[in-house]
Amino acid sequence: MGQPDRDEALVVQAYETIRRAVALIERLERGSATSEEVATLRELVRLLDPRGSQLTEAEWEVARLAADGLSNAAIADRRGTTVRTVSKQLDSAYRKLGVSSRRELAVRLANR
């Protein structure tokens, strides 16, 4: 009996997420988006992608930095963590996204 209300709430939430994403894309196209807004847009895109939403926030950030060409050591330094932690997070992201290399990862993230 409560299912229709829950479904309606999910539709409203999805619509609001898409509306926010579109507004941010428009700001980005005008060149007026801040780095914080770009990060928000990336997060909204992640939420809209069922496979990407499986990644933790840390896995998402490590995957994005790796796709941008940073080494595990550079990622660890930037995030204030160890190379081993970065390696584990990257391995987990590869598995969840169904990729096996940084090149595939970059293509996968570029196609989001």
Q: Looking at the chain, which residues constitute the CATH 1.10.10.10 domain(s)?
A: 54-112
CATH code that applies to domain 54-112: 1.10.10.10
- In the prediction, which pLDDT does 43 show? 72
Asked if residue 52 lies in contact with residue 97, where contact means CB atoms within 8 angstroms, the answer is yes
- In the prediction, which pLDDT does 28 show? 81
46, two tokens: 């992640």
Asked if residue 87 lies in contact with residue 93, where contact means CB atoms within 8 angstroms, the answer is no
- In the prediction, which pLDDT does 77 show? 98
- Tell me the C-alpha distance between 63 and 70, whole Å: 10
- Tell me the C-alpha distance between 90 and 72, whole Å: 9
- In the prediction, which pLDDT does 42 show? 73
Those residues whose C-beta lies under 8 Å from the C-beta of residue 74, and which sit 6 or more positions away, are 65
- Return the residue matching tokens 């933790």: 56
Give the pLDDT of the chain (112 residues) as one tens digit per residue.
Answer: 556 677 777 778 777 878 887 888 888 888 888 888 887 777 777 666 655 557 888 998 999 999 999 999 999 999 999 999 999 999 999 988 888 999 999 888 887 6
